Structure 1
Amino acid sequence: MFISVRQWKWWLLLSLAIPFFFSCRTYNNAVAPYYDAVSNGRFDDAASQLDKARFFRYGRNKLLFNMEKGKTAFLQGRYQESNLYFNAADSLLNSHRGSKVLDQTLGLVVNPAMQIYQGEDFERLLIHYYKSINYLKLHQVEEAEVEARRITLGTYALNDRKKNSDKKYSNDAFSLIVQGIVYESAGDVNNAFISYRNAADIFLKNPDHRYYGVEMPAQLQVDLLHTASQLGFSQEVAYYEKQFGRVYQPPTSDDGGAVLVIWENGLAPVKAETNFFFTLTERGPGNFVFTDPNTQVVIPFDFNLFPRDSCHQLRRHLEAFRVAFPSYVEQPLYYTAADIQRDSTFSTTLEKVEDVNQLAFRTLQERFLKEMGLALTRLAIKKLAEYEIRKNDEVAGELFNLLTLLAEKADTRNWQSLPHSIYYSRIPLKKGDNKITLTLKGKDSTQKVEFNIIGNGRLQTWHYASLLKS
């Protein structure tokens, strides 16, 4: 069917108007009943709210739906169901690769909130963490080993995307520690040693031995030295003793094995929308930059990306642009530390092994300039389209400008049921029953969680989540 130029302009205006009405709220607002249920420990209600939420009916949000459902099932102790959702999330991540160009075009023309959600880099790797723990809880050790090998593939992909930059999130120490735990649980000491060594080396690359808000755990040091000793790698033991500043002490003989206690504390930050106001200005002959006086951000602008005749208007008017960009809002912690005790004979403090809160803030900061440049390019394209429309219809051009302003939305989606931080520690077990007490410590209160572990000579895992906000 033939569509006139005038009809085409109005169809374009309608295409801009539609996403405005569907994306005006933040993700946190859109799933508020679900998030409230999760943060208050009502996990059955949370699962029900996910099924009701209209937000997840759009195909672009399917990855988020599966990640949230997988995590909720995990919190309910429904490990088989949890992995069904996480496997679906994995499949979506693989299937999205083919539609990347078309999807990026949609984000460039409209706004990034209309794109298929691809997940943050750390979110993708945390899928492997949950799947690994699920398999261990189900005693499906071989499946857990397969997942451990997939962690290696995930870190390779991350390295490739970030070109193994030490200044960016191009490795993940926590994922490698999880990998080591899986291999050790399966009795594969050699691969466990390699995983622990690779994780420790990430920390050791930094002068303060910290990585994205986490100081190298003493538990990691002990596990690395222990697996090296088990393999008879005396040179490696001596080397890492020097690096860690500690002497390896063989563990006391406990025929019950050990339990690895994992504590997920608090909730990950949520995304909000922040507005930046850039002005396109000339800096020397033929050099143009976007500047935001409030943040002192300067982003070069290349007119060669556009037809010469079209961007003459931009050069002449030196436009101002409002850019909506995501920003994280930290969720305060109710508990700040935890101790673990066994039968009043052994006690230790849990150590932080992953700081999701820090990862979120810092990885967003690392890609700020790149994504801001894309956002400004998107707005420049819309401004050029507005000029073309105004040539024939001033009213349509004005309406187009208004809808462009309304449609400028930040992508505020993120995996919100992730914890603020993850802690862990290894507890030796005696054979038979072991009474374990986890003591959570807050500013004004403490909570004790008691559970029983039967020592069977192997490494086991036990998980607890306190997702309360203060």
Structure 2
Amino acid sequence: MNKKLLQRPYAWLLLGGLLCLFSCRTYNDAIGSYYGAIAQGRFDDAAMQLDKNKFLKYRRNQLLFCLEKGKTAFLQGQYAESNLYFNQADSLLESGGRNKAMDQALGLLTNPAMQQYRGEDFEKLLIHYYKSLNYMQLHMMEDAEVEARRISLSGYELNDRKNNRENRYSNDAFAMIIQGMVYESAGDINNAFIAYRNAADLFLRQEDHTYYGIPLPQQLQEDVLRTAAGLGFETERAYYARAFGNTRMPVEKQEGGEVMVFWENGLAPVKAEANFFFTLTERGPGNFGFTDGDNSLFIPFDFNLLPRDSCYKLRRHFEAFRVAFPKYVEQPLYYTGASIQRDSTLQVQMEKVEDINRLAFSTLQERFMKELGLALTRMAIKKLAEQQIKKENESLGEAFNLLSILAEKADTRNWQSLPHTIYYSRIPLKKGQNKLVLTLKGASTTQQVEFEVYGNGGLQTIHYSSLQKS
């Protein structure tokens, strides 16, 4: 790049425009047509927009394509097709996709948005939720039980990776509740009790009995006590009754069975880009790290990626790094609560059971320092490469610097058709036909949705999604 060209004012205006073009376009922008259709409840149109979207056809976005297609098919009531895509997503996660070492190198040399998307931990567990509901809607209980067992395997893997550390997302109470529901539907009460108990324990370990923004659900308490009593586990029933402060005896099974109603409200947060500025500093001989403007953060330099003497070279050639990092942006809710009524004789409030919005913000914060350290190391590698190129050719070095600036971009990808919050309720049914009315409540509006459910003596599921934003 010609040095005199960069000294001209219009060249810097052009550079500024290019920076905006490269750095401001997010994943949400890239799938805007699809996302808009989902938010407005135009699910058939959303499916077509997915198929036309070129960005999602890139190999690195293959997992996202499968997740979005699986969720859209679920919303359309196409449960078999939904699980075809979710099974493909599972296969991608298990295989790891392209060579992991090459993928990491690509991320370091460019930016993490160029790497294969591997999913957030909570996104991976929510695949089991959708697959379980799909199988139950298709009356494929053996497959649903297999999925329930896979929830435990996913939980073990997550626990091992997080080393069971406190204040880290290493289990998911909602996934365990789904597991218990599937086992109970299949008549496996012993495993249902274990799953419900494990979910309840996650809440009870917290001083305020909340788990990632969710208070201990009343329904979960009743599930633990009911299954313990049904198995004759009086010691366990009494223990949890005291722990819950719940002295009510379990309700007898209804002749028509029961239905689990799931309501998905709003849309999960989307990712945007935030910028941080750091300098490389030395705290003691050879103890290099990155520090922000007010010295409130100190992130050690990873010497496994670069020789130690590279840090001295870095300090001689530059003063500061700009690092792009993802941040979540909450999507406002149109509805804030709901109740479910059966045949004008029974009405209950829907309970929050999974706050995906809260999970997203919390889990990103939990790994903030680790991810920021990788981002800073990425920028340091680029800066050293730039200095080496400048030794050979000044113009090429400047061109490489420009490309590095343009390439510095946060990974703003996430599974965007997930809901903001999931609510649930368990409704007893009369034998034969039952009419259910779900009433959604907003700040200045209400909506009623009717369902017809045939009470067959078993445990069934129905779901409704209101994904629009305020």
Instruction: Normalising by structure 2, report the TM-score.
Output: 0.93
1:338 maps to amino acid: A
Q: Quote the offset at 1:458 in angstroms.
A: 0.5
Q: Which moved more, 1:245-254 or 1:46-55?
A: 245-254
Q: Quote the offset at 1:345 in angstroms.
A: 1.1
**Equivalent residue, structure 1, for 2:223:** 223
2:145 maps to amino acid: E
**Equivalent residue, structure 1, for 2:349:** 349
**Alignment partners' CA distance in 1, 2:23 and 2:114:** 8
**Equivalent residue, structure 1, for 2:299:** 299
Q: Quote the offset at 1:108 in angstroms.
A: 1.1
Q: Quote the offset at 1:102 in angstroms.
A: 1.7
C-alpha deviations, 1:104-161, integer Å up to 9, x for none? 1111111100000000000000001000000000000110000000001100110011
Alignment of 1:164-313 (within 5 A): 164-293=164-293, 296-303=296-303, 305-313=305-313
**Alignment partners' CA distance in 2, 1:331 and 1:321:** 31
Tell whether 2:395 aligns with 1:417: no
**Equivalent residue, structure 2, for 1:393:** 393
- Could you tell me which runs of 5 or more consecutive residues in structure 1 were left unpaired when the two chains were aligned: 1-18
**Equivalent residue, structure 1, for 2:375:** 375
Q: Quote the offset at 1:24 in angstroms.
A: 6.2
**Alignment partners' CA distance in 2, 1:89 and 1:252:** 40
Q: Quote the offset at 1:293 in angstroms.
A: 2.4
**Alignment partners' CA distance in 2, 1:467 and 1:209:** 28
Structure 2 SS opposite 1:388: helix
2:142 maps to amino acid: E
**Equivalent residue, structure 1, for 2:128:** 128
| Conserved 8 A contact 1:225-1:248 | no
| Conserved 8 A contact 1:325-1:409 | yes
Once the two structures are aligned, what percentage of the paired residues are identical?
Answer: 69
2:386 maps to amino acid: E
**Equivalent residue, structure 1, for 2:451:** 451
Q: Quote the offset at 1:25 in angstroms.
A: 2.0
Q: Quote the offset at 1:20 in angstroms.
A: 11
**Equivalent residue, structure 1, for 2:43:** 43
Structure 1 residues 41 and 411 mapped into 2: Cα distance closer, same or farther (>3 Å)? Answer: same
1:119 maps to amino acid: G
**Alignment partners' CA distance in 2, 1:138 and 1:293:** 57
Q: Quote the offset at 1:281 in angstroms.
A: 2.0
Structure 1 SS opposite 2:246: coil
Q: Quote the offset at 1:205 in angstroms.
A: 0.7
| Over 4 Å off, 4+ runs | 19-24, 302-305
C-alpha deviations, 1:296-317, integer Å up to 9, x for none? 3221225574235544321334
**Alignment partners' CA distance in 2, 1:426 and 1:211:** 20
Tell whether 2:467 aligns with 1:467: yes
| Conserved 8 A contact 2:97-2:116 | no
**Alignment partners' CA distance in 2, 1:148 and 1:330:** 30
Structure 1 residues 431 and 446 mapped into 2: Cα distance closer, same or farther (>3 Å)? Answer: same
**Equivalent residue, structure 1, for 2:3:** none
Task: Give me the CA root mean square deviation.
Answer: 1.8
**Alignment partners' CA distance in 2, 1:450 and 1:198:** 34
**Equivalent residue, structure 2, for 1:6:** none
| Conserved 8 A contact 1:262-1:423 | yes
**Alignment partners' CA distance in 1, 2:196 and 2:131:** 19
Q: Quote the offset at 1:23 in angstroms.
A: 7.8
1:203 maps to amino acid: F
| Conserved 8 A contact 1:260-1:424 | yes
Alignment of 1:136-155 (within 5 A): 136-155=136-155
| Conserved 8 A contact 2:23-2:406 | no
**Equivalent residue, structure 1, for 2:360:** 360
1:76 maps to amino acid: Q
Structure 1 SS opposite 2:176: helix
Structure 2 SS opposite 1:153: helix
| Conserved 8 A contact 1:23-1:113 | no
**Alignment partners' CA distance in 2, 1:431 and 1:274:** 56
**Alignment partners' CA distance in 2, 1:332 and 1:270:** 11
Q: Which moved more, 1:414-423 or 1:24-33?
A: 24-33
**Alignment partners' CA distance in 1, 2:20 and 2:104:** 18
Q: Quote the offset at 1:21 in angstroms.
A: 8.2
Instruction: Normalising by structure 1, report the TM-score.
Output: 0.93
Structure 2 SS opposite 1:331: coil
Structure 2 SS opposite 1:369: helix
